[in-house]
Structures are given as structure tokens and as C-alpha cells.
Structure 1
């Protein structure tokens, strides 16, 4: 009797695709490494939790009698210590600490006093600049409001004019001015109805010759055209730019708002 032919038992690795076997051989060490790292991180975290942060001062008494609890020194400066305590943060001057604490953190009274004076001077200068800036802003707002009110008064009581600028000076401008006169017009529609039309603009000479306008902002350049309102009342006289004689009538004026 012939023996049965032997059968070779296939292993798991032989039944799998070669690529799967390759990745399993690579992935297994990586998984083990990740597991070890996670375990180590967990152990380190537990050790950190067990550590108790020790304050630099359990109690820090200042010269004024106040006491700070559980103080941690965060920064040392020339003037003192920046401290985190049980209720918040504080900047403590070396002059408020006892001698032992001063010596521990290298207190130099000369350098501390110089730094204190420098900081006080800087704060004083900063406060002064802020006060001046606030005053400038307030003055600018008051000037702006006054100009608005003055413009409204000029529209009601002064003469609308257009002028050619002859020359300019620090206080105003020399101009040849003409009064703007707006005459009403009428338009007849195609149905025969009459309605008001756009006003007709006419120019009439203002004054006998050249005049000087003051309170003009901004000062226009010579040769340009100025438009605004002129006070018809002469307030004073100005020197003639050619002869220097006080013969030019001076009027208050305000420029048209854009």
C-alpha cells in the first residue's frame, strides 16, 4: 500500500500577499515605538503633576505693613521686583523691601534712584504732551465750530462775491472783487405751465477798486479765483502793495465751503 502524499501546511504569511507582509513587518516596530512614547509621556505628565511649585516668598511684608502671599518673582529690574502673588501681579520697589531682600536681588540705591527720576521725568513729559494735544484738539474743534457759525452768519448778512487774487500776504489777500447777483428766472413747459427756473448769475463790481480780504483760510495763490462772502463794512485800511500807502479798504471775508 502506497503512503499518502504528504501535504505542506501553508503558514499565515504564505497565504498573504507579499506587499501585506512587507507593511506588517514595517508597521509593527513603529506601533511599538509609539506605544512606548505615549507611555513615557504619560509618566512624565504624572511626575509634573506631582511636583509642587515653590514660591520665592510664602509671605512678603512691605515697609508700609501690607503683606503679599505666595510670591513668585517674575522679573528683577533696577527699581524693584515684578511679583505674581495670590491675588494678582504687583511691581514692588526696592525701597519698600527689607534689607535682606534688597541684598538678595542686588539692589543698587544710586542706580534705582536714577532710574526712578528718569521714569518720573518721562511720565511728566508724557502727561504734558497729552494735555497739550487735548488742548490743541479742543482749540481746533472750537475754531471749526466758530467757522461754521461765522459762515452761516455770512450767508445771511454778507455779500456773495467772486474775486481775482492779485497778491497774497500773511494776513490775507489783495483782490479785485465782483458781487454775485442771482436773478430768478421762469421756464414754460410744453403744456404751457410756468415754473421757476435756475437762477441767472450776474457779476457786479464790488468796491471802487482793489480791496484786501482778511481771515481767509487757506490763502489762495496770486492769479487764482476766490469765491466766498465779503462783509460790506470796511473795518480798516491796508497798505497798497505798490506804493505802501494806507489806502486799500480791508473787509472781513470767508471762503465758500467745499
Structure 2
């Protein structure tokens, strides 16, 4: 820490004058950027609607309560579609993510200079695009419906599952792998008996965790025509049927809470 002399007495300072100047300059630049961004947001915002938002929210709340409970008979099939979209999408993603993860892990990839970059590109590209955008693209290609929702969830999940799995593969105990290799086992035998058993708990946890996330994501895919309960939500919003909207939101909330409870129990059993 810098020390300076003042009338023959050493005075401790946390930073030198130059370091303090740089720090204050950084704060000044950050404040200027914040004010500039706030100005851009403020110019693009209709503040009348912002100040009137509590009144509008209260009006919508009064229209949405009580929920239209008799409408629930028309929601069982859409919520079943939503669960199927999440489950099938997760299963497809796991099936595709496993080989991608093994190709991306440094200790299992066939080639660090060719195969691994391709695997990492697949992981990054599938994770970087939201499932709603995938759904919009797939609806334009294969048409609206549940199938587009399943594929969009699957593509979105590949990168997530493969990334966590390949990190788990790289963190395995190499002593066990070396012991199996010393017995003269082949590459596939080493993978089957030395690597796979070590990553299976992580794989199961990743699968359940991703399924839980996909339940949430699949509830809104219907807003763009990819099936599920989101389709009913969009239809109710279009006709301003607020009692139906409130009931659909309650059903979505219940589905998410149940999926969270199930995933927590399963992860607890695995761990």
C-alpha cells in the first residue's frame, strides 16, 4: 500500500494519487454512460402510460377476478400438450447432447483441433437463441403445432445439457480411468466402465433440471403458434377474456410449482 510523508510522519493511503484518479475517471465514465442510456430510454418511453399503469392494472385485475372456473375443462388437453412438449423436447435434447458433450470434453474428444471446435460451436449456437425464436423459425418451416414446439425446445436444450455434461466429463477422477486402461481395456470399454459411471449422477441431475426449465418455456410457446397452453392464453388475450386469462395463469403457475416439486424430489433422490 502506498505511504507518503507528512511533516515527518508516514501516512498510509489505500491508493496512490494516480490510482485514485483512474478510479474516479472510471466512475465518471460509467455515470455518463448510464445517463446517456437513461436519456435514450426516456425519449422512447410514453411516460403518460407509465404513470397511468397502476390504474390500468387495477382495472384489469377487477375484470380478471374471479377466474372463469368452468373454462378449466378446455385446458386439460393444452396443459397435457405443454407437458409433452417439455418432456419430448428434453428427451430428444439429451439424446443429441450426449455425443456432443463427449466430443467437446478435452479428455474424450477424438480431435481437439477439428471435432472439439465443431462440438463447441453446436453448444454455443443452440444456447444463444431463445426457444421462442426457434419456434418462430420452425413454424415458418414445418408449420404451427406441437411438433414445432417439441423441436424448438429440443434445439434450445442441446447446448445447455451438453455444456454441463462436458464440464462434468472433464472433472472426472482420472485415476479410475487409468486403472481401467492399465488392464488393456479398449477405448469404448474405458468410456463405458471408467467415465460413464462417474458422470451418470450429473447426467440425471442435468436431465431433471432441464426438464423443469422446459416446463416453464413450453408454457409460452403457444403465443407464437407452437402449441400448448400458451395457445389458449393468446386466444383469450386477443378477445380480452380476462377471467379466462387469470384462470390460465393459475393453471400455468400450478404446473410450474408441481414440476419444481417433482424435480426437487428427483434431484434429492439422485444426490
Higher normalized contact order (CA 8 Å, seq sep 6+, divided by chain length): 2
Q: TM-score range by the shorter chain?
A: under 0.3
Greater per-residue strand proportion:
1
Max radius of gyration: which structure?
A: 1
TM-score by length of structure 2 reads 0.18
TM-score by length of structure 1 reads 0.19
